[in-house]
A and B are shown apart, each in its own frame.
Chain A
Amino acid sequence: MLTLTRSVGERILIGDDIVIEVRAVLDGKQVRISIDAPRQVPIHRAEVFEAVSRANLDAITTSKSPDALVRSMRAAKRSNERPTGAGPASPPAAPEAPAGS
């Protein structure tokens, strides 16, 4: 890994088309940088991207069978169709999907 020391206003070039500039050092802890890169180069905050990756992996490892989910929706739909005794449905009760859409 390459580690460089840069001052505010100095830049780093990566390849032909990526430019990173140190814009400001905010409080001795945070650095504001600007990145100029081609649109097809994805840029992410590492911790955010890693959290999304973990969430996706959790979703596949725990998604055993969606049957219970479908059963629950079906039961809710049936109970919503009953004319009386609807009660205060707190979360947005799924109305019937428009047919054919």
Chain B
Amino acid sequence: MTALTALKTLPAVDLDFPAGIPGLESARRYRLEPLGTDGINVFGRLVSLEPVVLPGTSEVRELALVVAAPGLLWPEYAVEVDDESAELLQLDDAADAVALVVVTLQEDVAESTANLFAPIVLNPSRGLGVQVVPLGSEEEVGWSMHAPLPLPTPA
């Protein structure tokens, strides 16, 4: 099943991640907040609705991931949603799915990267989300876990 990624702006929605997000399994409830400016809602924050104990630490904090709608940044991007994920998302039709990618921000924005390999796929109408982790390697899948952000450079 292929998730459509034509999405160019992010919706504001509360989400359940029934399987958690790898590495952050203790948080299941998130809110997607678009970082909208001037009609560009390419980026957003996925904020946990409960404080999380970070793995390997005793640090409890709100957890937030920066995410991007890949439609404008990587027009050719498409992801396969495996049957397990489709079931977790209660997805009847791939057209209902929305893909996001996790952005790792760096001090220098131009060095920021996005995880195209393991997208977060949502079923907004059911308020469900899953991070799809492919079985194959990055080479086999063809999308990088640390893809440079194609930020348009001001002229």
Tell whether A and B belong to one assembly. Answer: yes
With A48-B135, A57-B55 known to touch, is A69 a contact of B41 (CB < 8 Å)?
A: no
Instruction: Say yes or no: A72 contacts B118, CB within 8 Å.
Output: no
Task: Tell me whether chain B's interface is mostly helix, strand or loop, or mixed.
Answer: loop
Q: Is the CB of A94 within 8 A of B72?
A: yes
**Other-chain residue from A55, A79, A93 in contact with B146 (beta carbon distance below 8 A):** A55
Partner of A64, one of B105, B151, B152: B105
From the candidates B84, B109, B133, B136, name the one contacting A69 in the complex (CB within 8 A): B109
Let me know if A52 and B131 touch, CB within 8 A: yes
Residues of chain A within 8 A of B83, CB atoms compared = 39
Q: Does A101 contact B (CB under 8 A)?
A: yes
Q: Is A87 an interface residue (CB 8 A)?
A: yes
Given contacts A79-B155, A92-B72, contact A70 B105 (CB under 8 A): no
Q: Which chain B residue shows the least CB distance to A99?
A: B39
Interface window among B62-70, B90-98, B121-129: B62-70
CA of A84 to CA of B21, assembled, Å = 45
Give the chain B neighbours of A28 by CB distance below 8 A. none
Residues of B within 8 A of A51 (CB): 145
Question: Scoring A residues 71 to 96 as 1 if CB is less than 8 Å from chain B, else 0, what string do you get?
Answer: 01111111110100111011111111
Q: How far is the CA of A80 from the CA of B154 in the complex (A)?
A: 7
Decide: A63 near B37, CB < 8 A? Known: A52-B115, A94-B73. no
Q: Is B75's CB within 8 Å of the partner chain A?
A: yes
B23 at the A interface (CB under 8 A): yes
A80 to B55, CA, bound (A): 42
Chain A residues with CB under 8 Å of B142's CB are none
Docked Cα-Cα span, A44 to B151, in Å, equals 32
**Among B84, B118, B152: residue with most chain A CB under 10 A:** B152
Known: A55-B115, A59-B65, A89-B155. 7 other contacts (CB 8 A): A55-B23, A60-B63, A69-B35, A70-B35, A85-B155, A89-B153, A91-B151
Residues of B within 8 A of A (CB): 8-9, 19, 21-24, 35, 37-43, 45, 54-55, 63-66, 72-75, 83-84, 87, 102-106, 109-110, 112, 115, 117-118, 131, 133-137, 145-146, 150-155
